[in-house]
Every structure is written in structure tokens, then in C-alpha cells.
Amino acid sequence: MRVLTGIQPSGILHIGNYFGSIRQMLNYQGDNELFVFIANYHALTSLKDAKSLKENTIDAAISFLSLGIDPNKTTFWVQSDVKEVLELYWILSSYTPMGLLERAHSYKDKVAKGIVANHGLFSYPVLMAADILLYDSQIVPVGKDQIQHVEITRDIAVKFNNDNGNVLKIPTFKTDDKVATVPGIDGAKMSKSYKNTINIFTTQKELKKQTGKIITDSTPLEEPKSYENCNVYKLCELFMQEDELMELQIRYRSGKEGYGHFKASLKDAIWNYFSDARDKRAYYTEHKDEVRDILSDGAKKAKKIASRKMEIIRDKIGII
Ligand code: ADP
Ligand code: TRP
């Protein structure tokens, strides 16, 4: 199966991103043909600072390579390195009813939040459709917020195929129902917009600070505590093995330790969990040329498929 997904280069990655989407994506690596790109054209709809966009793009590449993307198994590139996507975006625009985009939740939510609407923001799903359809993608793993965009992609593809024959592959989205929402340090959904994150790549000192701020109840140190609804325990569940969790439950019930101790255990677990990724990140940060080579190889592979597909599409619609 060809599995494709795009990543917004949005700066800091937190553990909600990891358990909510990155891990799911990496599960496809090896058994499937995985295509992953950094959606820098999409990022342009919200980020207008050239220096930050350049830095975030490379930074995202480094982070994802460090967290497990293997360029020998996965085609990994930067969206803007394959310009065919923009041509398809324009072509698909003529098959996209206005109403389809006007109903998009993501667009409506952003406008409701006061973000000034521009055409890029409005037509964002058409570019996403081009990303998906250009590569004959069959499966698109996404977070719940992106499901509608894949549905829009399907609608556009069906409309195109009705007029031009069976040219575009109709993709399906995949979300991981097993993944619960990862709570932030205040117990609400972890999100960079709520400023309640625990970040993947951070210093030990900062990690201590972030885990130290997790909100708990005020049961005194010497009293037994319940782990069931504790934010610290919930996060420990993501990082610890079954036997470690059993041990932790005993510590909660014993009434000999306070939340500070449990937070320290969580901090150690997170630190160890990402130890390999941190080493790789340090390596790639020192070897950015290697990162650029990986992206450029990926772009070459992606472009080959894209240009072949565009020849077929142009011919079908009469672009000479
Ligand atoms: P943020 O909310 O921090 O801006 P994004 O919207 O950039 O995060 O999310 C990127 C991906 O990570 C999405 O697929 C989303 O579903 C997933 N994700 C983000 N936060 C969480 C969370 N707290 N729990 C589970 N998944 C999450
Ligand atoms: N819109 C996606 C997000 O914000 C990123 C993205 C762009 C994408 N193009 C895509 C995801 C194509 C899947 C397929 O997360």
C-alpha cells in the first residue's frame, strides 16, 4: 500500500504529537511504501517570516529523521521541491465547488479565532488534495482534525474522474482510535496553543521544569494517593512498562512519597525514552548537509512519480 502524509513544520514537537501522530506514521514504515513530506507551502498560510520558515523546515526534517524516519525505507522530501504539486493544485481548483471549501471546519475555526482569511487558507484543502492525488496515495494517516480534508480530497477526485475517466486514485484516511488524547501539564489536551506541553527535544533541566508543573491534587506526602485520575500517572502510562507501572501504583498507595517523587520518575522515563532520538538529533544538527542530501534524494524519487502522473493528467484534460 502507498501511505502518504504531510507534516507541518511548526517548530516545537511535544509528546502529544509523538503519541498522537508520529508513532502511528512510523508504524507504516517497512511493510508499506511510506511517503512523508514537510508541508512548507501549507505552512506559508500561517507563517510569514522567511527565516523562521527556513529554520523550521530543516528543524522538522532533523526531528523526524531522529524520531525514526529511515530514508532507506521511506521517501522523505520537502513539498516545495516538487513543483508539480502546484500545477495539480490549480487544475484541481477547477473541479472544486466553492461550497466544499466553505464547509471546511478547519477554515471556519481559524476565521472564528480571528485569523484574517486569505485565499491560501481558504484553498488549503485543494493543495492537500494535490499532495495526496499526485502520488496515487492509498492511505493517508492523519489526526482527527484532518479527516475532513481527506474527505474533500475524495470528493474532488471523484468529480475529476467523472469528467476524465479513472485517472485519480481515491484515498482513504486512517486515524488511530487507540490513541487517547495526551493530557498536558494542566490536564487539558496537550497543545502548543495552550502552552501546556512537555517537549520531546529539550534539556534535562527544562524537562524537570515542565514535569514539575503538572497539576495534581493536594494530598499530603504521608497519605496514600490514588493514581487513577492523576495526570502524572497518565503520562507515566505512555512511557513505562507494565511492571514499572505496577511498582508505581504501589508507591502511590504507600503514602510514603509525594507527587514530586512521581514527577521525578516520570521525568527520568521521558528522558530515557527519547535518548536515542536525542543522540540522532545531535548528530543531524551537526551534519545538516547529510539532511539536505536525504531530502534531495527523496525529492528526486517523488518527482519521478509526480512528473509521470502529471503527463497523464495534462493529456486527459487537454493541456498541451
Ligand atoms: P498542537 O495542538 O500542539 O498545535 P498540532 O495540531 O500541530 O498540535 O498536531 C499535530 C499532530 O499531533 C496532529 O495529528 C494531532 O492529532 C496530534 N496531536 C497533537 N496534540 C495531541 C494530543 N494532546 N494528544 C494526541 N494527539 C495530539
Ligand atoms: N494539513 C496537514 C496538517 O496540518 C498537513 C498536510 C499537508 C497533509 N498535506 C498533507 C497531511 C497531505 C496528509 C496528507 O497536519
Task: Identify the band that residue 179 occupies on the pLDDT scale cut at 50, 70 and 90.
Answer: confident
Answer yes or no: is the C-beta of 10 below 6 A from any ligand 1 atom.
yes
Ligand 1 site, residue 181, Cβ cutoff 6 A? yes
Average pLDDT over residues 38-63: 95
* pLDDT exceeds 80 at position 25: yes
Q: What does the pLDDT read at residue 107?
A: 92
pLDDT at 312: 98
Q: 153-185: string of b/e by CB count within 10 Å (b at 16+)? A: bbbbbebbbeebeebbeebebbbbeeeeebbbb
- What mean pLDDT is reported for the chain? 95
Mean pLDDT of 21-33: 93
* CA dist., res. 242 & res. 165, Å (int): 53
Q: Closest Cα to atom 12, ligand 1: which residue?
A: 17
Q: Residue 176's pLDDT is what?
A: 81
126 within ligand 2 shell (Cβ under 6 A):
no
Q: Whose CA is nearest to atom 22 of ligand 1?
A: 16
Q: What is the pLDDT of residues 295-304, one digit of tens each?
A: 999 999 999 9
For residue 132, pLDDT over 80 is answered with yes
What does the pLDDT read at residue 87? Answer: 98
% pLDDT > 90, the chain:
88
Residue 304: predicted pLDDT: 98
Q: Which ligand is nearest to the CA of 125?
A: 2
Is the predicted pLDDT of residue 178 greater than 90, yes or no? Answer: no
Assign 124 a pLDDT band (cuts: 50, 70, 90).
Answer: very high
How many A from CA of 73 to the centre of ligand 2?
20
pTM (predicted TM-score): 0.94
- 7 C-alpha to center of ligand 2: Å? 6
The full DSSP string for the chain is -EEEEEE---S--BHHHIIIIIHHHHTTBTTBEEEEEE-HHHHTTT---HHHHHHHHHHHHHHHHHHT--TTTEEEEEGGG-THHHHHHHHHHTT--HHHHHT-HHHHHHHHTTPPP-HHHHHHHHHHHHHHHHTT--EEE--GGGHHHHHHHHHHHHHHHHHH-S-SPPPEEE--TT-PPPB-TTSSBP-GGGT---BSS--HHHHHHHHHT-------TTS----TT-HHHHHHHHHS-HHHHHHHHHHHHHTS--HHHHHHHHHHHHHHHTHHHHHHHHHHHH-HHHHHHHHHHHHHHHHHHHHHHHHHHHHHHT--
* Mean pLDDT for the stretch of residues 156-168: 98
Q: For residue 68, count CB atoms less than 10 angstroms from its CB and return exposed for 0-12, middle for 13-18, buried for 19 or more.
A: middle
Which ligand neighbours the alpha carbon of 35 most closely?
2
- 191 in ligand 1 pocket by Cβ < 6 Å? yes
Domains of the chain, CATH where assigned = 2-182+288-317 (3.40.50.620), 202-273 (1.10.240.10)
Name the closest ligand to CA 148. Answer: 2
Model confidence pLDDT, tens digit, residues 52-82:
999 999 999 999 999 999 999 999 999 999 9
Q: Summarize pLDDT for 203-252 with one digit per residue, the tens.
A: 999 999 999 999 999 999 889 999 999 999 999 999 999 999 999 999 99
Q: pLDDT band at residue 11, thresholds of 50, 70 and 90?
A: confident
Q: Is 218 in the pocket of ligand 1 (CB under 6 A)?
A: no
Residue nearest to atom 6 of ligand 2 (CA): 6
Q: How confident is the model at residue 98 (pLDDT cuts 50, 70, 90)?
A: very high
Give mean pLDDT, residues 187-192. Answer: 92
Mutate to test the pocket of ligand 1, among 17, 56, 214 (most ligand atoms within 8 A of CB): 17
Q: Which ligand is nearest to the Cα of residue 18, counting in written order?
A: 1
Return d(Cα 245, Cα 63) in angstroms, integer.
Answer: 29
